[in-house]
Amino acid sequence: MSETPSTDPKSIVVIGAGIVGIASALFLQRDGHKVTVLDPRGIGEAASFGNAGTIATTSCVPTARPDILKRVPKMLMDPTGPLSIRWSYLPRLAPWLIDLVRNSTPERILANAQAKTALLNHAMAAYNELIAESDAEDMVVRNGILQLYETDASFNASARERALMQACGHKLDILPGQEIRQMEPALATGFKHAVYLENHATIKHPGDLTKRFAALFDSKGGVFAREQVTGLSKNGSAWAVSTDKGSHVADRVVVAAGAWSREGARMLGIRMLLDTERGYHVMVPQPDPALKRPVLLGDHSVFLVPMAHGMRVTSGVELGGLELPPDYRRIRAMVPFAKRVLPHLDETEMSAWMGFRPSTPDTRPILGESPGAEGVFFATGGSHIGMTLGPIMGKITADLVAGRDHGFDLEPYRPDRW
C-alpha cells in the first residue's frame, strides 16, 4: 500500500474500531490525515471478532426473498431453526420488517444483489493491500468454501440462490457426492451434492487480523481511544465529537460503528433503518483430521469454520436489538449437527459468543457522505458480509474524503435512502 499523502491533510475522527473503522483509518492515514479512532469496546471486539471469518466475495444474495419469507413461520416454530425473534422487541423492529418485505420483489432482489456485487468484486483487492502492508498473509487461507447438501430437496431449494449468484457474474462449481470426501476427508459420508466457491478466503482469527491492521495504524502515528461517543455537533467549519471522557474536534467524521451507527444517525436527525441481526457462535476443539476450509451444512444452515484457535460453529439469526441478553440455546443445539458430519469432533464447548451484525432491510451497506451533514461519512450495514466489505468500504471512504473518483455509483448505499 503506497503512501500518497494528501495536499490537504485533515483531522479525522473514526467512530468504531471494527474491520470497517480500522480499514477506513488506514486508507485515510495513507492520504496524510491525522486520524483518531474511538470505540468503547476496544479494537475488533464486536462483530469483527465473532463472525464466520470468511472473505466471501460471492455472497450477494439478499435476505429479503419470497422463499425465505414463506419459510419464516416454520423456522420460528423450530427450536433449533436458523431464525428467532425476541417478541418483546417486535414493536421496535416492525418498520425494518415492513421494509424487508418490500424488498422481496424480483426486481428489488436483483437490484440489491447487483448493488452488493459491485462492492464484492473489489473486496479481495482492497484486502490484499492491507494484508500485504501489515504482513498478514499468514493469517489468511485461500482455498474457497464448500456448501453441502444431504438431500435432493435441500439442494433444489437453494437453486434460486445459485441462479442469482450466476446472474451477478459469480462463479460456482457443482460437485458430485463422490468428490466431497476427496476435498474434505474429515467429513462423514452421506452428502449428495456440493457447491464449491473458489474465490473465498478464510481468516484464521478475524479479531486478530483486525488487531494486526490496527497495529499498522498505530505504527504510523494513529491514535486509538476507548471512548463512547455521546454527541455530534457542528463547530464552525469542523465537527465536535463529544464522548464520555471529553471531546474531539475534527474536520471530518467517519461513522463506522456497526450496529451502533444508528445512534450516530439519530444525532444528525437522519432516519436510518439499521438494526441488528444478532449472531452466535460456539468454539469447540479442532478435530483430527481437521476441515481444510469452511463448510456450510445447507440442510441445517450450520456453518463450520476451521480457525487457528479451534472449530467455529455458527448459525442463524436472532432479531432482538442491542440490549436484550443473549440466549445460547439454539447455537448449542447446532453442535450435534456438527458432530454428525465430523465423526472425530470433540463437542466440548471452549467458548460461546453473541454479537451484533449491522443489517439493513435491503441488505445493502450504508456508505457515503451524510446529506445535510457535510463532512460526516457513514460506512456500516455490512450485515453477513461486513468482514468481507470492510477494506473496500474503508478505501471508498478515503476517496470520498479526498474528493477522488472512487469509480462506484454510491446511490444504492445512500445513508438517507429511507
Q: How far apart are CA 394 and CA 18, in angstroms?
A: 11
∠ CA 26-27-28, nearest 5°, is 90
- What cell does 384 get? 453477513
Q: What is the CA radius of gyration of the chain?
A: 21
Contact 261, 16 (CB under 8 A): yes
User: For residue 176, what pLDDT is reported?
Assistant: 83
Query: For residues 256, 258, 260 and 266, what is the CA-based torsion angle, rounded to 10 degrees?
Result: 60
One digit per residue, pLDDT tens: the chain, 418 residues? 444 545 589 999 999 999 999 999 999 999 999 999 999 999 999 999 999 999 999 999 998 776 666 666 665 566 666 678 888 998 999 999 999 999 999 999 999 999 999 999 999 999 999 999 999 999 999 999 999 999 999 999 999 999 999 999 999 999 987 889 899 999 998 899 999 999 999 999 999 999 999 999 999 999 999 999 999 999 889 999 999 999 999 999 999 999 999 999 999 999 999 999 999 999 999 999 999 999 999 988 899 999 999 999 998 789 999 999 999 999 999 999 999 999 999 999 999 999 999 999 999 999 999 999 999 999 999 999 999 999 999 999 999 999 999 999 999 999 999 9
Q: How far apart are CA 227 and CA 99, in angstroms?
A: 33
User: For residue 1, what pLDDT is reported?
Assistant: 43
Domain(s) labelled CATH 3.30.9.10 in the chain stretch across 62-118+138-202+276-359
Report which of 334, 340, 396, 335 is spatially closest to residue 365, judged by C-alpha positions.
396
Contact 98, 142 (CB under 8 A): no
Tell me yes or no: is domain 62-118+138-202+276-359 CATH 3.30.70.120.
no
pTM for this model (two decimals): 0.94
- What cell does 89 get? 422487541
Fold for domain 11-48+208-273+364-413? FAD/NAD(P)-binding domain (3.50.50)
Contacts 24+ apart (CB under 8 A), 398-405: 398/24, 398/27, 398/28, 398/30, 398/31, 400/368, 400/369, 401/10, 401/12, 401/28, 401/31, 401/33, 401/252, 401/254, 401/377, 402/6, 402/31
User: For residue 287, what pLDDT is reported?
Assistant: 94
User: For residue 2, what pLDDT is reported?
Assistant: 41
Report which of 265, 225, 267 is spatially closest to residue 246, judged by C-alpha positions.
225
Domain(s) labelled CATH 3.50.50.60 in the chain stretch across 11-48+208-273+364-413
Report which of 10, 34, 403 is spatially closest to residue 217, judged by C-alpha positions.
34
Q: How far apart are CA 393 and CA 197, in angstroms?
A: 23
